[in-house]
């Protein structure tokens, strides 16, 4: 029997049993604890002391005395906003006991002193565990759920079970949590409604030209390269928060690339193909449509990474068609790329490649789940409580509709991007990667650059985005917006939300940049407009889609964005 076990152990590699390497990370954690038991003892004493303080707090509050809480939720933590969590002694003590235990576990993890990769992984997944164990996530310990159960005589739990079964059926055995009432939205009807026309298409993308709303427009057109990890209409959700509609109203001739949702037939499309058939073909089409050889460009997220690669090649070849570039939350230096790095190492990428090889692409749901884990309380557990414990239906929210309208990733492109850029960080090495036979060197880019980042971005952290300021040779403007990866970008002046920071200097360290940055309330869009219009040339008569050398193919937003 032992010989059989030995053979099985030898046959099944640790990486197959634990592709994420969590076992190794936690084993190293316990080794560090045993080497330094003093830290564990200090944390245990602190936890015991805090729990005693909490016990005294509970007794005094039960007696009607005014007493200060032992611990409070972090700013922005909405799990305990229901009044009973603070008003009723039992749930108040329960809440604070959980927060103390969470702090204890996170302090143990953060004090482990492992190598950078395993330390990051340990802290991230300890946070996932802590979040999953919140008393708000269980019917028996959530006062809002208990009240709903009493009021409805258990109907909420019955409805919740029906919702759970429906989501399991929808996910074909895997839990696919419903986050939005999809019946309330239709692309082209009540989202993505800015008027325009598709004036060019190939198998990788459609190019949309938007209808002007001003008599005159800036001479240089504006082209936007959105990420293909999600669909472009995040920039055109509704009239009140549409970046595209706003840019058109400011006198820009706006073009947007709408990427195809790739299937198995396109599985071997490469990063080069996205650049050649996306970036460069769009520039050709814009020149044919408007007669203009120069444009200003925007790259959003991975669309910005792609744009940087194209700009390097254009600089080497003397191609001057892009006059300036704006990046929305786009990384080129992945040395500090944030929590996504816990999913990226050789073992995990090998496992991912094997999954993708079966179909030729990464399923949309896999990518969505990864992104949701970066904000699990907001994008996972809040829906577990709403849908399954409270038995409610998801709300109709345009942003969540877009978030659930995910796309597939072709294996050739995705594997290359994750390995060469995320894992090996070769994009910032001059000649580290070669595209179209040309070594990429970001220092060759000397056109004006505007870098937008967001302070609470979990996908492209601002300190990672800022590193790009040290790689370009031309003038660089860095701006830090409030909120996260999406809301930090989609912040219309009409909404009058959040804030942003500006600083004309770009020191090497982002901390130094922040120290002398100026705070501004509201949307950063007008600040960017002041930067861009000076680079957009004189005003010319407005251009109507189809009036140039390219015929109209169909109305915006086109067919590609509707592909499931």
Positions annotated as catalytic residues are 301
- Residue 84: both structure tokens together: 């009973």
Q: By C-alpha distance, which of 305, 244, 257, 246 is closest to 283? A: 257
Tokens representing 53 are: 């303080």
- Report d(CA 233, CA 227) in Å as an integer: 11
What contacts 252, CB < 8 A, 6 or more positions away?
217, 218, 221, 222, 532, 536
**Beta-bridge partner residues of 255:** 209, 223
For residues 509-528, b (16+ Cβ closer than 10 Å) or e, as one string?
ebeebbeebeebebbbbebb
The helix (H) or strand (E) run that includes residue 296 is strand 295-300
For every residue of 227-278, DSSP letters joined together read -SSS-GGGGGSSTTT-HHHHHHHTT--EEEEEE----GGGTT--HHHHIIII
What residue has token string 């152990």? Answer: 9
In the DSSP assignment, the letter for residue 303 is H
Strands 499-503 and 518-521: antiparallel
- What DSSP string describes 148-205? HHHHHTTHHHHHHHHHHHHHHHHTTTS-----S-GGG--BTTTBS-S-EEEEEE-SSE
User: Are the CB atoms for 328 and 308 separated by under 8 Å?
Assistant: no
535-538, long-range: CB < 8 A, 24+ apart: 535/220, 535/296, 535/323, 535/324, 535/448, 536/218, 536/219, 536/220, 536/222, 536/252, 536/296, 537/218, 537/219, 537/220, 537/294, 538/218, 538/219
Residue 487 is inside which H or E element, if any?
none
Q: How far apart are CA 41 and CA 33, in angstroms?
A: 10
496's CB contacts (< 8 A; 6+ apart) are 522, 523
Q: Which of 82, 94, 86 is nearest to 68 (CA)?
A: 86
Closest to 426 measured CA to CA, from 436, 417, 415, 413: 417
Rounded-to-integer distance, Cα 537 and Cα 553, Å: 29
* Closest to 338 (Cα-Cα) out of 390, 301, 286: 301
3-state SS track over 309-349? HHHHHHHHHCCCCEEEEEEECCCCCCCCCHHHHHHCCHHHH
């Amino acid at each position: 029997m032992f010989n059989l076990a030995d053979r099985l152990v030898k046959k099944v590699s640790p990486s197959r049993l634990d592709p994420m390497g969590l076992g190794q990370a936690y084993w190293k954690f316990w080794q560090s604890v045993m080497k330094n038991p003093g830290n564990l003892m200090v944390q245990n004493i602190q936890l015991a002391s805090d729990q005693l303080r909490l016990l005294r707090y509970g007794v005094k509050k039960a007696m009607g005395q005014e007493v200060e809480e032992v611990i409070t939720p972090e700013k922005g933590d909405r799990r305990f906003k229901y009044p009973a969590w603070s008003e009723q002694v039992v749930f108040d003590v329960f809440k604070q006991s959980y927060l103390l235990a969470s702090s204890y576990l996170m302090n143990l993890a953060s004090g482990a002193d492992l190598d950078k990769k395993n330390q990051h992984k340990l802290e991230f997944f300890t946070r996932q565990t802590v979040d999953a164990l919140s008393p708000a996530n269980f019917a028996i310990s959530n006062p809002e759920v208990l009240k709903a159960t009493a009021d409805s005589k258990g109907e909420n739990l019955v409805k919740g079970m029906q919702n759970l079964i429906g989501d399991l059926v929808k996910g074909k055995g895997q839990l696919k949590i419903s986050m939005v009432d999809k019946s309330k939205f239709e692309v082209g009807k009540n989202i993505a409604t800015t008027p325009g026309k598709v004036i060019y298409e190939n198998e990788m993308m459609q190019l949309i030209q938007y209808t002007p709303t001003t008599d005159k427009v800036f001479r240089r057109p504006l082209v936007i390269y959105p990420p293909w990890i999600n669909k472009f209409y995040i920039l055109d959700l509704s009239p009140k928060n549409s970046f595209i509609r706003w840019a058109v109203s400011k006198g820009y001739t706006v073009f947007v690339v709408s990427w195809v949702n790739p299937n198995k037939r396109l599985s071997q499309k490469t990063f080069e193909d996205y650049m050649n058939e996306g970036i460069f073909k769009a520039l050709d089409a814009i020149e044919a449509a408007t007669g203009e050889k120069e444009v200003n460009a925007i790259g959003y997220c991975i669309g910005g990474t792609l744009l940087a690669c194209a700009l390097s090649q254009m600089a080497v070849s003397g191609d001057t068609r892009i006059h300036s570039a704006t990046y929305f939350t786009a990384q080129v230096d992945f040395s500090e790329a944030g929590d996504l790095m816990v999913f990226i190492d050789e073992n995990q990428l090998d496992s991912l490649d094997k999954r993708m090889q079966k179909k030729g692409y990464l399923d949309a749901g896999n990518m969505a789940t990864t992104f949701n884990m970066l904000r699990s309380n907001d994008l996972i557990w809040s829906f577990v409580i709403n849908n399954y414990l409270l038995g409610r239906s998801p709300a109709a929210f345009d942003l969540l509709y877009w978030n659930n309208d995910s796309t597939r990733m072709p294996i050739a492109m995705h594997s290359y991007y994750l390995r060469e850029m995320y894992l090996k960080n070769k994009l910032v090495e001059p000649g580290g990667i070669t595209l179209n036979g040309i070594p990429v060197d970001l220092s060759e880019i000397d056109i004006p650059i505007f870098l937008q980042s967001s302070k609470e971005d979990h996908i492209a952290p601002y300190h990672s985005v800022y590193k790009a300021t040290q790689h370009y040779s031309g003038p660089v403007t860095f701006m830090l917006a409030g909120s996260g990866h999406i809301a930090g970008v989609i912040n219309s002046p009409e909404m009058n939300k959040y804030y942003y920071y500006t600083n004309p200097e770009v020191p090497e360290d982002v901390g130094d940049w922040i120290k002398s940055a100026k705070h501004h309330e509201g949307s950063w869009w007008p600040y960017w407009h002041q930067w861009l219009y000076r680079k957009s040339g004189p005003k010319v008569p407005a251009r109507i889609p189809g009036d140039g050398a390219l015929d109209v193919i169909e109305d915006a937003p086109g067919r590609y964005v509707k592909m499931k």
